[in-house]
């Protein structure tokens, strides 16, 4: 059961888990606050802890509000788009036939009929992004299945407005946010490893952190980098 603590304008979601210590987190992009506490922790104790960290919470939220955001894309000539962490210029090539997209050096070219709507241009690019991710993900899954001794039975790609990824440990399924195609490749790998570790440990407890520390010791740096990169014009959260 999720309870809440209200400290003025700040609402904190409280969950109790089989952990030893309290974990307070401020999540990008808008500064949602969560507090995970040991199972026996009383709400008054959790509230007192949150009050003691109020300055830190406000500081983290302020940093997130000032984080750079991409401007909404119009899918027009010479517009900037990110691919694997690098900026590319968009070229629109008007032509008949089936629309398609390709990339050459630092340029993304969209071949489509001249009357193609913004919505269809956006969907075409999104489908192309999924093709790129489907090329990149299976080798990474194979690599980390061998390292971690787990099996990913299936993975899915989708637009996700609340997370970079998720895992269903019982089903062996992983979901990844298609926005990851815009980030450096090593951040895709970080998110994938994070979700695959959940196949060994479903919660974010000390064991989960210990496994990440052993197999992917740079995870904190990767998480920080992911959270500091420009956010999509839409609302995304890790």
Tell me the whole-structure pTM to 2 decimals: 0.72
pLDDT digit string, tens, across residues 103-126: 988 899 999 998 889 899 999 999
> Residue ranges of the domains in the chain?
3-65, 118-228
CA distance 115 to 94: 9
Q: Which residue has the higher pLDDT, 88 or 235?
A: 88
pLDDT on residue 224:
83
Q: Look at residue 30 and tell me whether its pLDDT is greater than 90.
A: no
Q: What is the mean pLDDT of the chain?
A: 88
Residue 150 makes CB contacts below 8 A (sequence gap 6+) with 144, 196, 199, 200
Report the pLDDT averaged over residues 175-181: 94
Helix (H), strand (E) at residue 24: strand 23-27
pLDDT digit string, tens, across residues 161-170: 667 899 999 9
Q: Look at residue 1 and tell me whether its pLDDT is greater than 70.
A: no
pLDDT digit string, tens, across residues 210-230: 999 999 999 999 988 887 765
Any idea what DSSP says for residue 121?
H
Q: 118-228 has which fold? A: Zincin-like (3.30.2010)
Residue 85 makes CB contacts below 8 A (sequence gap 6+) with 182, 183, 184, 185, 187, 229
pLDDT on residue 62:
84
């Amino acid at each position: 059961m999720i309870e809440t603590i209200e400290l003025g304008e700040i609402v904190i979601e409280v969950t109790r888990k089989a952990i030893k210590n309290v974990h307070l987190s401020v999540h990008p992009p808008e500064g949602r606050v969560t507090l995970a506490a040991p199972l026996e922790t009383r709400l008054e104790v959790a509230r007192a802890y949150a009050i003691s960290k109020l300055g830190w919470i406000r500081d983290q939220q302020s940093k997130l509000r000032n984080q750079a955001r991409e401007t909404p894309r119009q899918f027009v000539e010479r517009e900037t788009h990110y691919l694997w962490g690098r900026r590319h210029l968009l070229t629109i090539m008007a032509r008949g036939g089936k629309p398609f997209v390709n990339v050459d050096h630092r340029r993304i070219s969209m071949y489509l009929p001249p009357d193609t709507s913004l919505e269809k241009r956006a969907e075409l690019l999104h489908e192309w992004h999924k093709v790129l991710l489907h090329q990149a993900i299976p080798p990474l899954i194979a690599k980390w299945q061998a390292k971690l001794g787990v099996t990913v039975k299936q993975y899915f790609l989708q637009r996700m407005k609340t997370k970079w990824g998720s895992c269903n440990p019982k089903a062996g399924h992983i979901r990844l946010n298609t926005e990851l195609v815009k980030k450096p490749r090593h951040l895709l790998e970080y998110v994938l490893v994070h979700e695959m570790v959940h196949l060994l440990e479903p919660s974010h407890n000390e064991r989960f952190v210990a496994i990440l520390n052993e197999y992917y010791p740079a995870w904190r740096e990767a998480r920080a980098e992911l959270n500091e990169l420009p956010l999509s014009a839409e609302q995304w959260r890790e």
